[in-house]
Structure 1
Amino acid sequence: MDIFKKKESNVQSYAKNFPVVFSTAKGSWLYTKDGDAYLDFLAGAGSLNYGHNNAIFKMALLEYIDKDGITHGLDMHSEAKAEFLSALQTYIFEPRSLNYKVQFTGPTGTNAVEAAMKLARKVTGRSNIIAFTNGFHGCSYGALAATGNQHHRGGAGMGLSGVTRLPYEGYADIDGLALFETMLCDNSSGLDKPAAVLVETVQGEGGLNAASNEWLQRLAKICKAHDVLLIVDDIQAGCGRTGTFFSFEPSGIQPDIVTLSKSIGGYGLPMAVVLFKPELDQWKPGEHNGTFRGNNHAFVTAAKALETYWADDEFSQHIQQRAEQVTQAIQKALRMYPTMFTCLKGRGLMQGIECQSGEISDKIARECFRLGMVIETAGPDDEVVKFFCPLTISESELEQGLTIFAQAVENIASQYIKKAS
């Protein structure tokens, strides 16, 4: 561990919570160089929806590398890119009656958000963006301006502007959409008419707050009525995490712009895209670019992921079955420990349990790690224990993880009882 302590920046965060040296990984498991096994309920913060070193993807990638396939190609055409675009059209767009152009950005979610915001401003000629309380969209300046978390905003070192924030559904019992619509219709409200609304259907880092279908439909209706573009940030909630490929599918809305990253590459390789309606494709060549917007290795594994898991609804059914397992475990904990927990958060395999305090959630996460499971917390005060296993996890592996969680809760609860007595 000495080399990390001596040479790596203090900015590291996950490493501080899981202070071991990992060496290998497979499926839903991480292994240290000493051979200790940890069940992974973090999954690369949603970048490993299909598990570690997925055998199907690995074989395709190794074959591609072995034949000297293009690795880096800027935004030039390649066979790997063509195969990914074809798979996206066949397995995702056509079955959902979606017609989107695809922009390859720098390979991070925050870069996709930057591109989406820039495009919305360019197309509309307006600068203001609406974002929501507890939203998280990235840590580069534009995306950070739309991010609510003060810890992340504090790292900016300068004022962040160009964004108006509204209450998300359920925030302090305020009807944020009624407020939004009223302000749009009032010439004296002081609200500059926005270019776009940027929203997560489930707020991953913000505490797994999940918008209802009705709320999303109302939001889409308001945006359409006032000629405001709707951007859905599906970077963490997309690629099947909530049970459907896009998190917004159950609501029936069709956003103007969608951002994807994290698991879109399939294998955990860096990749990000912006999807937008064809009439919005008003970029000039190279107007938003990046040296690594052509990760052909990611194109290979991304295409294989779509072909393998999204050709029918079998994978969605698997996710829904595993999600029910998680729901039942959380509901049981809520019944057994009402003084420790408040409610279930999220949906699909993007669920969590809200604790009475960040202290409790932190202790549970640390105890889970001691018992052999990697799990993180989320929310304004890190008060939500976040269940984020690979979507490919088996029923028995998931049960094993939920058992570890239950044991950790029991151990922590006994400490509280002792302290109280």
Structure 2
Amino acid sequence: MSSVTTSATDLDVFDRRESEVRGYVRAFPTVFDRATGSTLVDADGREYLDFFAGAGVLNYGHNNPAFTRALIEYLERDGIIHGLDMATSAKRAFIEAFERFILEPRGLDHKLQFTGPTGANSVEAALKVARQATGRSTVVAFTNAFHGLSMGALAVTGNSHYRSAAGVGLDDVARMPYDGYLGADVDTLDLLEKQLDDPGSGLDLPAAVIVEAVQGEGGINVARVEWLQRLRAITEARGILLILDEIQAGVGRTGRFFAFEHAGIVPDIVTVSKSISGSGLPMSLVLLRPGVDVWKPGQHTGTFRGNNLAFVSARVALETYWADAAFAEAVTAKGELLRTELERIADEHPDLDFVVRGRGLMMGIACDADRTLAGRVSKAAFERGLVIETSGAHDEVLKFLPALTITEDELRRGLAIVRESLAAVRAA
């Protein structure tokens, strides 16, 4: 038996055997070994503060003890692990908790569809059912949108880097400018409404419009409340289904369970994934207004749409964090602290024309003056013990996506590392 040990920076086996498609390991080149809360630890024992949260999967932090205990107890009693779409006690308990803590307090009557475990699969299901329910094929999507990388989801995604990998045409999608795309003084919905009402525009009546209330991968672009409200009015008046993609912006990330809640609208379809399981276990679902649920049994299926371990931790997350308003209020308060500090950083570097944008604990600081800056700051921050990624069409946005359970001290410590990293990059 070999006694050879390798360090956290030894990535030889990954370089030798793992596909070139791997991405995050290139930005964060170490072998992570364990984690708790907002702290990652690599195989050499070095600690990193996490401002990445698994790209929004770990809203409640790593190895949250409330979820770990429940999962261990479930495993020890031989609870059902794999259930397809059969009824299980774990699924029933989750549905009941989701009704009680999420749907009923918000006056939502949506039904739940459990899809394959990725966010992209929930988008695929949403697009399919929208087309079935309306009998139409066109879907309107927006500039800088990100909805996943399977073929249907990719068709409504904007980024050319991802779209170029498809190898085939990505059809039946009309692209419209997102709020703010043409500047703060232009309401981009004027174009959509004009085209919908002009029989010469070439835009056929769509089955659906799909939108993110806050674009994550697209650069932390926030749709104004008034814009979302007008979009809902435009679609409702014309019988167009409105799909809200809440995969990254949902589950408390913006200070409300759903990001669309800030606008007071009710979508026809909602896609949810990433942090819905709470624990990081794969889980994805689609919320459907009853009239939209036109599926016939088995029309959208999948071997792993019944992840019962995820149902267990998801239920506990709802019971622990969403029984009252305290958690959401704490997220809002930490979001205000984060925004204040980012605006101070922007003020400290007026020559860079930084733009701070976001909502809650989904924030970004963008630098169009030097689109390489965010990436260089991310790299310098990693060297100093902070994991933070970039987003935007040019990776020009330093993206802040910490766990919602992060402490104020941890938040300030991470911001100090960002300041130090920015200063080091500028001095280099």
Q: TM-score range by the shorter chain?
A: over 0.9
Could you tell me which residue of structure 2 aligns to residue 202 of structure 1?
Answer: 214
* Seq. identity, %: 54
Residues in 1 aligned to 2:378 and 2:352: alpha-carbon distance in whole angstroms: 14
Q: Does the aligned pair in 2 maintain the 1:74–1:292 contact within 8 Å?
A: yes
Whether contact under 8 Å (1:351, 1:387) holds in the other structure is yes
Does the CA-based 8 Å contact 1:167-1:175 persist in structure 2? no
The 2-side partners of 1:341 and 1:85 are apart by 47
Superposed displacement of residue 111, structure 1: 0.3
Q: Which residue of 2 aligns with 1:152?
A: 162
Indicate the SS of the match to 1:231. Answer: strand
* Greater mean alpha carbon deviation, residues 336-345 or residues 116-125: 336-345
Partners of 1:339 and 1:384 in 2: CA distance:
16
1:396 aligns with 2:409: yes
Please give the alpha-carbon distance, in whole angstroms, between the structure 2 residues aligned to 1:18 and 1:139. 22
Query: Matched residues in 1 for 2:224 and 2:131: separation?
Result: 27
The residue correspondences of 1:318-397 to structure 2 (distance < 5 A) are 318-355=330-367, 356-397=369-410
Trace 1:11-30 onto structure 2 (pairs within 5 A).
11-30=21-40
2:139 corresponds to 1:103: no
Q: Does 1:176 align with 2:204?
A: no
**Aligned-partner Cα distance in 2 for 1:379–1:250:** 23
DSSP 3-state at the match of 2:364: strand
Q: Displacement, 1:176? A: 2.2
Give the C-alpha shift of residue 2 in structure 1: 1.2
* Cα deviations by residue, 1:73-99 (Å, 9 ceiling, x for unpaired): 100000000000000000001111111
Q: Give me the CA root mean square deviation.
A: 0.7
Look up the equivalent residue of 2:262 and give its one-letter code. Answer: P
Match of 2:309 in 1: 297
Letter of the aligned partner of 1:403 in structure 2? Answer: A
- The farther-off stretch of 122-131 and 180-189 is 180-189
| Superposition deviation, residue 341 in structure 1 | 4.0
Matches within 5 A, 1:301-320: 301-320=313-332
Shift of 1:411: 1.3
2:18 aligned to 2, 8, 12, which one?
8
Deviation for aligned residue 1:191? 0.2
Where does residue 419 of structure 1 map in the other structure? none
Aligned pair partner of 2:267 in 245, 250, 255: 255
Q: Distance in 1 between matches of 2:240 and 2:370?
A: 38
Deviation string, structure 1 residues 7-34 (Cα, Å, up to 9, x no partner): 0011000000000000000000100010
The answer to whether structure 1 residue 90 and structure 2 residue 103 are counterparts is no
How far, CA to CA, are the matches of 2:179 and 2:341 in structure 1? 25
Normalising to structure 2: TM-score of the pair?
0.96
Contact 1:340 1:360 in 2 (8 A): no
Secondary structure of the residue aligned to 1:171 is: coil
Q: Are 2:53 and 1:43 equivalent residues in the alignment?
A: yes
1:57-81 Cα offsets, whole Å, 9 max, x none, are 0000000000000000100000000
What is the SS of the residue equivalent to 2:141?
strand
| Unmatched segments (≥5 aa) in structure 2 | 1-10
Indicate the residue corresponding to 1:405 in structure 2.
418
Task: Verify the 8 A CA contact 1:31 1:38 in the aligned structure 2.
Answer: yes
- Paired residue secondary structure (1:248): helix
> How many residues are treated as equivalent by the alignment?
415
Could you tell me whether the CA contact under 8 Å between 1:136 and 1:206 is conserved in 2? yes
**Letter of the structure 2 residue corresponding to residue 366 of structure 1:** K
5+ residue gaps, structure 1, are: 416-421
Cα shift at 1:340:
2.5
Q: Distance in 1 between matches of 2:352 and 2:28?
A: 24
1:147-296 matches, cutoff 5 A: 147-173=157-183, 174-296=186-308
User: Which segments of structure 1 move beyond 4 Å, counting only runs of 4 or more?
Assistant: none
Confirm whether residue 54 of structure 1 aligns to residue 56 of structure 2.
Answer: no
What secondary structure, in the 3-state scheme, does the structure 1 residue paired with 2:329 have?
Answer: helix
Distance 1:341 1:5 in 2: 38
The Cα shift of 1:325 comes to 1.6
* 2:182/2:188 contact within 8 Å kept: no
* Mapped partners of 1:20, 1:403: distance in 2: 22
Which residue does the alignment assign to 2:7?
Answer: none
Q: Determine helix, strand or coil for the equivalent of 2:116.
A: coil
Is the CA contact (8 Å cut-off) linking 1:42 and 1:389 kept in structure 2? yes
Q: Does the aligned pair in 1 maintain the 2:243–2:268 contact within 8 Å? A: yes
The residue identity in structure 1 corresponding to 2:81 is T
With normalisation by structure 1, the TM-score equals 0.98
